Chain A
Amino acid sequence: MTFEQLLELPVYGVPQADKDRILTAELNELTAHHRAHCEPYARLLAQLAPGDADANAPWETPYLPVGLFKSHALASVPPEDVQLVMTSSGTTGQQVSRIFLDKETARRQTLALSRIMQQVLGPDRLPMLVIDARETLADRRNLSARGVGVLGMMNFGRQHLFALDAQMALKLDELKAFLAQHGDKPFLLFGFTFMVWKYLYEPIREMGLDLSQGVLIHSGGWKKLQEQAVGNAEFKAALRQACGLRRVHNFYGMVEQVGSVFLEGDDGHLHPPSFSDVIIRHPETWEVLGPGEKGLIQVVSALPRSYPGHSILTEDLGVVHAVDSPEVERMGKAFEVIGRLPRAELRGCSDTHAFGSAR
């Protein structure tokens, strides 16, 4: 299937059995492509999955632990074709992932993200509130992961207003002017989950502003909010109550697989689009787990061609709640991200040392 044909599939309309079949072919092709074009990957593969046999299912595709993108420079294109190197945010003292993008993979990511977002935003660009500071984009040659996220989403908006100043204070007068002009028709809000809560919700919670026509897309994880006992349900209830914001979609994504993000549906769960999927594995045995069982999240995606990131074992824990559920309009898996595997356990289980030694 060409990439264009893959994109034509209904984003949330492919039953799991068909999707497994389609993705198996795509992933096998990518494994062979990266084996041929990324020498360190070929060497890793020789250890991980000796023999060049094709996978019979997506979960048989060899996977790299996400940490390898920190320790190794993995590219499947010559250096002169690399257009952009994305780096993960990473906490202080940690190494960051480096992801090498050429024109084609960047294009695939943009098109894929656009297909996903159009499912909830429609074809037209909406007036957009960016819950961040313009300064996030100041250093355009060296964008942070946050900057990349903001920029990627700005394609879906028009008449963008950065709602925060450089000190992360809400620009209330400008926000009110934006709402006076656009607030009676659908508009888009985008920001990182924690920032939306701290720099938008908290300052306006008592003000009675009307955001009822807004569609909020947010991402970035719940770690900081969990410390305040705010989870997805509390987050949505608070925004609904404070400013009438009802259309709220969280998404799960990572710099190692930009484009194929997992967007929250009306059921409150995350859904893989037609060109990617999640597989849950036991944190110690790596055995594939079924619905209802918590484990490590593996992400597979048909997008990455310029770096071998089509099958990655993350350090996040999750659970699949349903497959092809008749209760929601979305086919395929419905899942939830529970959190991060604690560091100590990680050392015990994901054994990056063994993979790293293949260097």
Chain B
Amino acid sequence: MSASVSTLKKAFQDGLAIPADTDFENLTYRGIPQWDSIAHLQLVMEIENNFDVMLPTEDVIDLSSFQKAREILAKHGVTLEA
């Protein structure tokens, strides 16, 4: 399945409650105050709902940046196009 990278940005926006003009490529877990462990669970839910995937525990813990999110989605057969 392929999807748009803007869908992933939207998932981050909704999951972490951050603005649309965020520097997504440099986002990291705990790198901004909004991305704490509570928001992390929200983010996982947004990603799962938006891309129709079920992330195992390992991926939830590994999901530490916007870049990582792309890699994890790729592992689950979702390629992101600009």
Interface residues of A (CB under 8 A from B): 83, 103, 106, 110-111, 114, 117-118, 121, 123-125, 137, 140, 151-152, 154-156, 158, 160
**A140-B36, A151-B38 known; A123-B61 Cβ under 8 A:** no
CB–CB B30/A103 < 8 A: yes
CB–CB B56/A155 < 8 A: no
Question: Could you list some 20 contacts between A and B, CB below 8 A?
Answer: A103-B30, A110-B61, A114-B58, A114-B61, A117-B57, A118-B57, A121-B57, A124-B54, A124-B56, A125-B54, A125-B56, A125-B57, A140-B38, A151-B37, A151-B38, A152-B37, A155-B41, A155-B60, A156-B57, A160-B41
Query: Please, how many angstroms separate the alpha-carbon atoms of A202 and B6 in the complex?
Result: 49
B69 within 8 A of partner (CB): no
B27 within 8 A of partner (CB): no
CB–CB A155/B57 < 8 A: yes
User: Which residue of A111, A137, A151 is within 8 Å of B61 (Cβ)?
Assistant: A111
CB–CB A137/B38 < 8 A: yes
Minimal beta-carbon separation of B70 from chain A (angstroms): 20
Q: In the complex, what residue of chain A is closest to B38 when comparing beta carbons? A: A140
5 nearest CB pairs, A to B: A123-B56, A151-B37, A140-B38, A124-B56, A155-B60
Chain B residues, CB < 8 A from A140: 36, 38
Chain A residues, CB < 8 A from B72: none
Chain A residues, CB < 8 A from B30: 83, 103, 106
Known contacts A83-B30, A114-B61, A123-B56; 13 additional CB pairs below 8 A are A103-B30, A110-B61, A123-B57, A123-B58, A125-B56, A125-B60, A137-B38, A140-B38, A151-B38, A155-B57, A155-B61, A158-B54, A160-B41
B80 within 8 A of partner (CB): no
Minimal beta-carbon separation of A296 from chain B (angstroms): 32
> Which residues of B21-65 have CB atoms within 8 Å of chain A's CB atoms?
30, 36-38, 41, 45, 48, 54-58, 60-61
Minimal beta-carbon separation of A132 from chain B (angstroms): 14
Chain A residues, CB < 8 A from B45: 158
Taking chain A's interface residues, is the majority helix, strand, or loop, or is none over half, making it mixed? Answer: helix
Chain A residues, CB < 8 A from B57: 114, 117-118, 121, 123-125, 155-156
Minimal beta-carbon separation of A187 from chain B (angstroms): 14
The residue among A121, A152, A155, A160 with the most chain B CB atoms within 10 A of its own CB is: A155
The residue among B45, B57, B61 with the most chain A CB atoms within 10 A of its own CB is: B57
Minimal beta-carbon separation of B54 from chain A (angstroms): 7
Query: Please, how many angstroms separate the alpha-carbon atoms of A35 and B1 in the complex?
Result: 52
The residue among A111, A121, A125, A140 with the most chain B CB atoms within 10 A of its own CB is: A125
Chain B residues, CB < 8 A from A155: 41, 57, 60-61
Minimal beta-carbon separation of A143 from chain B (angstroms): 9
Chain A residues, CB < 8 A from B60: 125, 155
Chain B residues, CB < 8 A from A111: 61
Minimal beta-carbon separation of A306 from chain B (angstroms): 13
Query: Please, how many angstroms separate the alpha-carbon atoms of A118 and B61 in the complex?
Result: 13
Query: Please, how many angstroms separate the alpha-carbon atoms of A158 and B38 in the complex?
Result: 13
Q: In the complex, what residue of chain B is closest to A124 when comparing beta carbons? A: B56
Query: Please, how many angstroms separate the alpha-carbon atoms of A154 and B36 in the complex?
Result: 13
**A111-B61, A155-B60 known; A125-B37 Cβ under 8 A:** no
Q: In the complex, what residue of chain B is closest to A160 when comparing beta carbons? A: B41
Chain A residues, CB < 8 A from B56: 123-125
Query: Please, how many angstroms separate the alpha-carbon atoms of A124 and B55 in the complex?
Result: 8
Query: Please, how many angstroms separate the alpha-carbon atoms of A151 and B40 in the complex?
Result: 10
Minimal beta-carbon separation of A339 from chain B (angstroms): 32
Query: Please, how many angstroms separate the alpha-carbon atoms of A106 and B30 in the complex?
Result: 10
Minimal beta-carbon separation of B79 from chain A (angstroms): 23
Q: In the complex, what residue of chain B is closest to A102 when comparing beta carbons? A: B30
Chain A residues, CB < 8 A from B61: 110-111, 114, 155
